[in-house]
């Protein structure tokens, strides 16, 4: 085994810990992505129209941050349970490792995008509607692709 650690031992030997980490991961991304999607929905002008995107962002940002912490920590636990499948498999082949690295790249992009471009446009006083819509659509596509990436990790070998 690549890593011999107390977390991996607990995760692999106590059956409920891995399941618990998975549930926290799902609950976390539901709140995290769901809260960002509320801002996107407003930026697309498809809901919550009686308030500005900036205000919706202000309300939902704390949920996003707390959820992100849960997702990253539970994700780290899931990773540490079997780090070898993510790190030691053959590179450049469509396998778990490839999908994991793709998902992590998308995640890094999405987080960076969320706290720079997305945030800035959501906070604009009078953004061009086309810009708002484009920025929101890119945000939704990025976050949804991360969910797909996470599921596909488990279906590749």
Cα(19)–Cα(125) distance, integer angstroms:
44
CB of 16 to other proteins, least distance (A): 8
Phi-psi region of 40 (alpha: psi -120 to 50; beta: other; left: phi over 0): alpha
C-beta separation of 96 from 156 below 8 A:
yes
Q: How far is the CB of 26 from other proteins (least distance, A)?
A: 5
Q: Select 71 or 80, whichever has its Cβ closest to other proteins.
A: 71
Alpha-carbon gap, residue 129 to 146, rounded angstroms:
26
**What is the closest distance, in whole angstroms, from the C-beta atom of residue 2 to other proteins in the complex?**
25
Nearer to other proteins, 4 or 154 (CB): 154
Extract the tokens encoding 51: 């308030």
Question: What does the binding site for other proteins look like in residue numbers (CB under 8 A)?
Answer: 15, 19, 22-23, 26-27, 29-38, 41, 46-51, 55-56, 59-60, 63, 143-144, 147-148, 150-152, 154-155
């Amino acid at each position: 085994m690549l890593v011999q650690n107390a977390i991996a031992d607990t995760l692999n030997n106590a059956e409920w810990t891995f399941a618990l980490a998975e549930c926290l991961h799902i609950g976390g991304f539901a709140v995290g992505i769901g809260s960002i999607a509320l801002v996107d929905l407003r930026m697309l002008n498809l809901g919550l129209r009686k308030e500005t995107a900036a205000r919706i962002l202000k309300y939902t940002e704390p949920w996003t941050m707390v959820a992100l912490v849960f997702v990253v920590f539970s994700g780290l636990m899931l990773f540490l349970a079997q780090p070898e499948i993510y790190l030691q498999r053959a590179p450049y082949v469509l396998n778990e490792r490839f999908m994991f690295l793709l998902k992590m790249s998308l995640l890094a992009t999405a987080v960076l995008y969320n706290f720079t471009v997305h945030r800035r446009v959501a906070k604009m006083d009078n953004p061009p509607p086309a810009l708002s819509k484009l920025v929101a659509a890119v945000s939704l596509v990025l976050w949804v692709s991360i969910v797909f990436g996470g599921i596909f990790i488990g279906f590749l070998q």
